[in-house]
Amino acid sequence: MAKVAPPLGFGLGLRKEHYTVVLETLPKVDWFEVLTENYLVPGGKPLYFLDQVCERYPVVMHGVSLSIGGTDPLDFDYLRQVKELIKRTHARWVSDHLCWTGQGGINAHDLLPLPYTEETIRHVVTRLKQVQDYLEHPFLIENLSSYITYAQSTMSEWEFLSAVAEEADCLLLLDINNIYVSAFNHGFDPLDYLDGVPKARIQQHHIAGYSQYPHHIIDTHDHPVADPVWDLYAEAVKRYGLVSTMIERDGNIPELQVLLDELQVARDIYQRNRGDAHAA
- Is residue 238 predicted with pLDDT exceeding 80? yes
- Contact present, 236 and 174 (Cβ < 8 Å): yes
Angstrom distance (rounded) from CA 222 to CA 219 = 9
45: helix, coil or strand?
A: helix
Q: In the chain, what percentage of residues exceed pLDDT 90?
A: 92
Number of Cβ atoms within 10 Å of the Cβ of 5: 14
Give the C-alpha distances (Å, rounded to integers) separating 101 from 40, 85, 96, 98, 111: 18, 22, 11, 10, 5
- Is residue 35 predicted with pLDDT exceeding 90? yes
- Contact present, 116 and 160 (Cβ < 8 Å): yes
Angstrom distance (rounded) from CA 1 to CA 180 = 29
Mean residue pLDDT across the chain: 96
Mean per-residue pLDDT, 131-159:
97
- Contact present, 275 and 237 (Cβ < 8 Å): no
Go through the domains of the chain in sequence order and give each one's CATH number.
Answer: 10-250+262-279 (3.20.20.150)
Q: What count of residues does the chain have?
A: 280
Name the helix (H) or strand (E) containing 239: helix 227-240
Angstrom distance (rounded) from CA 157 to CA 241 = 23
pLDDT band at 105 (very low <50, low <70, confident <90, very high): confident
The predicted structure's pLDDT at residue 278? 53
**Beta strand pairing call for 100-103 and 106-112:** antiparallel
